[in-house]
Chains A and B, each alone.
Chain A
Amino acid sequence: MSSQADQQKQTSNALQPGATAPNFTLRTTPDKSVSLDQFRGNPVILLFYPADFSPVCGDEVSLYNEILPEFQRLNAEVIGISVDGIWCHLAFSKHKNLRFPLLSDFEPKGNVAQQYGVYRKNDGVSERALFLVDKDGVIRYSYVSPIRVNPGADGILKALESLPQSTEQKEDTST
């Protein structure tokens, strides 16, 4: 499985660590939008996944939902992104009792996934990809999983823990 993952990684065009994370503004509910830059100052985990209600995704979002307190302890926010529309996201979010927002990369379809290099043109959905964006908006971790494999959270947690603590940074800038 890991060799498959490596292969996937090598052929992927995903933005790599060190790149500036492209800003975006996407709808999360009919009357609410979320922009990446509104999280500036804290790390953000971007969880791109192919589609709401597909079995593997269900596991992946459920897992991240469950680990959320751990991410929050490290001051990180989690954002899910797929090409599904907001109504679908709302139903999925309710179904899974999600406590983090799902963003709709719906119009133009897959535009944000394309900017991050994780859009599957032939399938019309995004890759199953993870990015860790640091407090300054720079990508610090990037991973594309085989589309049917739930990537788990061990890699992103490790990456998150190796970032300088954002709370200390915030205190530094305020003094």
Chain B
Amino acid sequence: MMELELTLPVNSSRDHVLGPQKAPITLLEYGDYECPYCRQANLIVGNVVQQLGDKMRFAFRNFPLTQIHPHAQHAAEAAECAGAQNKFWEMHDILYENQQALEDENLLEYAEILELNMSRFQKDFYNHTFAGLIREDFLSGVRSGVNGTPTFYINRMRYNDSWDQETLTRTLIDIINENL
């Protein structure tokens, strides 16, 4: 029953991926911008990415739990709208840093801070251009055994251990060393 493998592999043509394509390890997170644990995880992942540098890739997929987090869906859409203008990660961080302010007007403010093309941003945002992609992210997570947020995968396998910085870093380094 415990299907632990990622059903939709990370693919830089559909996913937001940080780090070199040929990195020996890919860490994928399914997250929700209104989830307090994801906010915590975002800080930890940032540190881990900094520490491991070119040895890893980090990818993020949306898993908004919209019935308990009423702002999560629009926040995810704002990140994708920014992504269409090559500013996904900038928006991603702003959203987590401002988790208590995710009303639509806040999201538009963040787009302005990032100096996005506002007419394009608003068009994409209000037309829900990326809602389908977000649903695809969500369903790929459901089928891969995501049972809450954040859920991590390391090279296609679900990571079930604690995601505190020390444990996560050690696990990644061990896998990198095994693959050498």
- A-to-B contact residues, CB < 8 Å: 1-2, 5, 9, 59-60, 62-63, 65-67, 70, 96-99, 143, 149-155, 157-158
Contacts and interface: CB of A to CB of B under 8 A. Distances in A.
Nearest to B66: A66
A34 B144 CA distance: 32
B147 interface: yes
Nearest to A60: B147
A71 to B, nearest CB: 10
Interface of B: 1-4, 65-68, 138-139, 142-148, 160
Given A66-B67, A96-B67, A153-B142, A59 B2 contact: no
B67 A59 contact: no
The main secondary structure of chain B at its interface with chain A is: loop
B2 A5 contact: yes
Contacts, number: 55
B147 A59 contact: yes
* Among all A-B residue pairs, the 5 with the closest Cβ atoms: A152-B147, A150-B147, A155-B1, A59-B148, A97-B67
10 contacts: A59-B147, A63-B142, A63-B148, A66-B67, A149-B147, A150-B147, A150-B148, A152-B2, A155-B2, A155-B3
Contacts of A158: 3
B142 A152 contact: yes
A111 B97 CA distance: 48
Nearest to A70: B139
Contacts of A9: 1
A160 B2 CA distance: 16
Contact of B142 (A1, A62, A99, A157): A157
A158 to B, nearest CB: 8
Nearest to A97: B67
A157 B147 contact: no
Contacts of B68: 62, 96-97
Contacts of A1: 2, 160
Contact of A151 (B138, B139, B147): B147
B67 A154 contact: no
A99 B65 CA distance: 13
Contacts of B3: 154-155, 158
